Chain A
Amino acid sequence: MALLKREEWQGFVRDVDWSYSYVDDEAVYPEWHSGTGKVPRQAWQAWEESYKVSYPEYVATQREKEAAVYAVKAALQRSSAFDSLSEGWKSATKMHFGGVALVEYAAVLAELKMARFGLNGSWRNMATFGQLDELRHAAVTTFFGHEFIGKDAQYDWTQKTFHTNDWVAISLRNLFDAMMTSANVVDIAIELPLTFETGFTNLQFVALAADALASGDVNFANMISSIQTDEARHSQQGGPTLEILVEHDPVRAQWVVDKAFWGSARAFAALTGPAMDYYTPLEHRKQSYREFMEEWIIDQFVHTLEQYGLKKPWYWDEFLRGLDIWHHGLHMGLWFWRPTIWWRPMAAVSKDERAWLTEKYPNWEQVFGDKWDVIIDNVNSNNMEATLPETLPWLCSTCHLPACNATQSRNGTWRVRDVQLEYDGRIYHFCTNGCRQIFWKDRDNVNHETVIDRFLAGQIQPMDVGGILGYMGLTPDVMGDDPDYEAWTRDYAGRVAARPGAAS
C-alpha cells in the first residue's frame, strides 16, 4: 500500500476540534485562559499556520540542530577561545545568559498554555512544537552558561538571575509574566510569537550573533543562531491569531500589539543597547543599536502593522526619539549602579569610542558627554567613592527600569523630566509617557512592585546600600565592576577638569 503524501493526511490529523458531549466548550476553553473575547468561537476555525510540520520532520530537524550546536561546543571546549574574549564581550554574554535562560523557560509555559487552550487544533499542534523549542532553548542556554562558572562566578547568574530580587530580574519578570504567564492565549500569541519573537528576538539572536562572531565567540554565535531557527517557525502562531482578532476586535488587536512592542523596546534598550554600543569592542561593532533597530525592527514592524490593517502606535514619535536616548541613559545607569548587576560593564567612553557614538548619535555628546566627563575626572583623580551610588535610581512603575530618559526642550537643552500620575491615593512615577499610558490602561492589573516600592515598604533591611545589595542577591564575588577603568580614562589623564558648560 502506497503511503499517502503529506498534504493528503496533514489536514485531518491536525483537525482535533471535536464536539464535546459531557462538558460545554467554556469548560474546556475558559475565557480567562482562552480569551476569545468579542471573537465568535467559530471564527477560530479559520486559523491556519502557513508553514506546516509533522512530528517526525520536527524531530529529525531538531536532532540535527542539537548535534551541530553540541559538536561546535565540544570542539571549542578544548580550545582557549574563551580566554581570548574581551571582558566587554563576556559581559554581553553574561547579560544574555542571565537575562534569557529562564525567560526561555517562561516561554515553555506560554507555549504549553497555547498548546492546551489555543482555540484551534492546528494552533495547539504548532504550540506543542513551540514548547519543545523553548525547552531546548532553556536547556541549551543554561548549559552553555553553566560551562563557564568555573572560570568566572558571574556566569552562575545564568540560572540564578530569575530566582533573585535583582532589579534587572524584576524588570524582566514583570515584562514576561505579563506577556507569557498571566495573559490569555490570544494575547500571548500576539505579544510573544508575533511582536516579540518575529521582531525583537532578531535583534538579540541575529544581530548579536554577528557581533559574537566578530568578537571571536563562535560558540555563542552558534548557540543563538540555532535558537533563532526555531523562532522563525513557531513565531508563525502570531499571524493567523492577529488576522482573526483584527477582523472581530481591531481595538483590542491594536492595544495588545502596541503594549507588547513598547515593553519589548524598553527591555531591549536595557539589554541589547549597551551590549551593542558599549560592550562590544569598537573594532567589532557591525552597526549601531539604532541602525539595527531601524533595519531589523522598525521596518518590519511597520510592515506588519500595514499588513494587518493596524495603525502605528500612539507613542510612535516618542519611541523614535528614544532610539537616540534610552539605551545610552540605561548604559550610564547600569554602569553607575554597577554593584547591582552580575556582569562587568565597560564604560567604553574613550575618545575613539565617543567619536563613534557621536557619529552614530549626533546628540550623544550634548546629552551624555558632560556626565561622563565628571565621572572620568573622578576616576583619574582616584576619587572612586564619587563614582559609586549611595541611593537608588527611581524605577519606573511600568517597565521597572531607571527613569533616565532626557527629552529636549524648545530652547535646545536636554532634561530628564518627571512623568507621574496619581491613582488610588498614591503617586506613581514613570520613565516616559508611553509607560504612564500603559500603566493607566492596565491599572487594575496586578503588577510586580518595583525595588523602590519594596524599599519604601520596609521589605529591604537594613535600609542602606548593603541591605539593598543583599536583598538583590549580590555577593562580593559577583558584584559588577568596570573591568578596565584605564581603557577609557587614559585619554583624559592629566587634563584640567573641564569648565562647566565649556565645549570639550
Chain B
Amino acid sequence: MSEPQLVPLNAIFATDFVQILVPVTTANTMAEVAAAVAHHVEGKRVRALPYDKVVIYQGERLPADMTVAAAGIKPLDHVTVEYDIPEAS
C-alpha cells in the first residue's frame, strides 16, 4: 500500500465567517477530516455543539469511516463540515 499523500483542502466549518486551508491526507477518514477542520474553528469562532460532525463534498454527505482517497477528494478541493443536527420532530 502506498504512503498517504498530503491533500490540502479549502474548508468551511458550519457558520464560520471564512474559508480556511486545512491539510489532510489520503488515509484520513471523514471523521478525522471533520475534526481537522473543526480544530481551527470550534470553540474559537463557532460555539461547540453536542452533535457529530459530517463532511459534505460536492453536495453529498460522506460516511464517517470513508477515507479521503475512497471519496476521491483531491488537493485544493472544497469540503464543508456541518454539525449533524437531528431534524426537529
List residues of chain A with CB under 8 Å of any chain B CB. Answer: 329, 332-333, 336, 367-368, 370-371, 373-375, 378, 386-387, 389-394, 402-404, 406, 413-418, 420, 426-427, 429, 452, 455-456, 497-500
Q: Smallest CB–CB gap between B24 and chain A, Å? A: 12
Are A392 and B21 neighbours in the complex by a CB distance under 8 Å? yes
Assembly CA distance A378 to B18 (angstroms) = 19
Are B49 and A500 neighbours in the complex by a CB distance under 8 Å? yes
Chain A residues near B77 (CB, 8 Å)? 427
Known: A332-B18, A387-B44, A420-B10. 12 other contacts (CB 8 A): A336-B45, A371-B16, A375-B45, A389-B40, A390-B39, A390-B40, A392-B20, A416-B12, A416-B19, A429-B10, A456-B75, A500-B48
Are A391 and B18 neighbours in the complex by a CB distance under 8 Å? no
Are B18 and A403 neighbours in the complex by a CB distance under 8 Å? yes
Are A374 and B21 neighbours in the complex by a CB distance under 8 Å? no
Counted as pairs of residues, one from A and one from B, with CB atoms less than 8 Å apart, the total is: 94
Number of B residues whose C-beta is below 8 Å from A? 26
Chain B residues near A418 (CB, 8 Å)? 10, 12, 19, 78, 80
Are B17 and A329 neighbours in the complex by a CB distance under 8 Å? yes
Are A386 and B43 neighbours in the complex by a CB distance under 8 Å? yes
Are B21 and A394 neighbours in the complex by a CB distance under 8 Å? yes
For chain B, residues 26 to 65, give those with C-beta under 8 angstroms from any C-beta of chain A: 39-40, 43-49
Are B78 and A391 neighbours in the complex by a CB distance under 8 Å? no
Identify 16 residue pairs between A and B in the complex whose beta-carbon atoms are under 8 Å apart, listed by A's number: A371-B16, A378-B43, A393-B19, A394-B20, A402-B18, A402-B19, A406-B17, A413-B15, A416-B12, A417-B12, A418-B10, A420-B10, A420-B78, A497-B47, A500-B48, A500-B49
Are A403 and B44 neighbours in the complex by a CB distance under 8 Å? no
Instruction: Pick from A329, A414, A417, A452: contact of B15, CB below 8 A.
Output: A414
The yes or no answer to B76 lying at the interface (CB within 8 A) is: yes
Are A455 and B44 neighbours in the complex by a CB distance under 8 Å? no
Q: A394-B10, A418-B12, A420-B78 are in contact. Are A429 and B19 (CB under 8 A)?
A: yes
Assembly CA distance A256 to B21 (angstroms) = 32
Assembly CA distance A58 to B20 (angstroms) = 51
From B19, B47, B48, B76, residue with most partner A Cβ within 10 Å? B19
Prevailing SS type, chain B contact patch = loop
Chain A residues near B45 (CB, 8 Å)? 336, 371, 374-375
Q: A336-B45, A370-B47, A371-B46 are in contact. Are A391 and B17 (CB under 8 A)?
A: no
Question: Which chain B residue shows the least CB distance to A420?
Answer: B78
Are B21 and A455 neighbours in the complex by a CB distance under 8 Å? yes
Are B21 and A332 neighbours in the complex by a CB distance under 8 Å? no
Are A386 and B47 neighbours in the complex by a CB distance under 8 Å? no
Assembly CA distance A399 to B10 (angstroms) = 17
From A333, A394, A427, residue with most partner B Cβ within 10 Å? A394
Q: Smallest CB–CB gap between A465 and chain B, Å? A: 12
Are A332 and B17 neighbours in the complex by a CB distance under 8 Å? yes
Prevailing SS type, chain A contact patch = mixed
Chain B residues near A373 (CB, 8 Å)? 47
Chain A residues near B78 (CB, 8 Å)? 418, 420, 427, 429
Instruction: Pick from A332, A375, A402, A427: contact of B76, CB below 8 A.
Output: A427
Q: Smallest CB–CB gap between B55 and chain A, Å? A: 13
Question: Which chain B residue shows the least CB distance to A402?
Answer: B18
Can you list, as one digit per residue, whether each of B73-89 has a CB less than 8 Å from chain A (1) or not (0)?
01111101000000000
Instruction: Pick from B19, B39, B44, B80: contact of A394, CB below 8 A.
Output: B19
Q: Smallest CB–CB gap between B73 and chain A, Å? A: 11
Q: Smallest CB–CB gap between B44 and chain A, Å? A: 5
Chain A residues near B17 (CB, 8 Å)? 329, 332-333, 367-368, 371, 404, 406, 416
Assembly CA distance A391 to B40 (angstroms) = 7
Chain B residues near A371 (CB, 8 Å)? 15-17, 45-46
Are A426 and B18 neighbours in the complex by a CB distance under 8 Å? no
The yes or no answer to B68 lying at the interface (CB within 8 A) is: no
Are B18 and A393 neighbours in the complex by a CB distance under 8 Å? yes
Chain B residues near A390 (CB, 8 Å)? 39-40
Assembly CA distance A500 to B40 (angstroms) = 18
Question: Which chain A residue shows the least CB distance to B12?
Answer: A416
Assembly CA distance A403 to B16 (angstroms) = 11
Are B19 and A404 neighbours in the complex by a CB distance under 8 Å? yes
Q: A371-B16, A394-B10, A416-B16 are in contact. Are A378 and B44 (CB under 8 A)?
A: yes
Assembly CA distance A386 to B78 (angstroms) = 24
Assembly CA distance A391 to B39 (angstroms) = 10
Q: Smallest CB–CB gap between A341 and chain B, Å? A: 15
Are A391 and B19 neighbours in the complex by a CB distance under 8 Å? no
Question: Which chain B residue shows the least CB distance to A328?
Answer: B17
Q: A374-B45, A500-B47, A500-B49 are in contact. Are A416 and B40 (CB under 8 A)?
A: no
Assembly CA distance A394 to B18 (angstroms) = 8
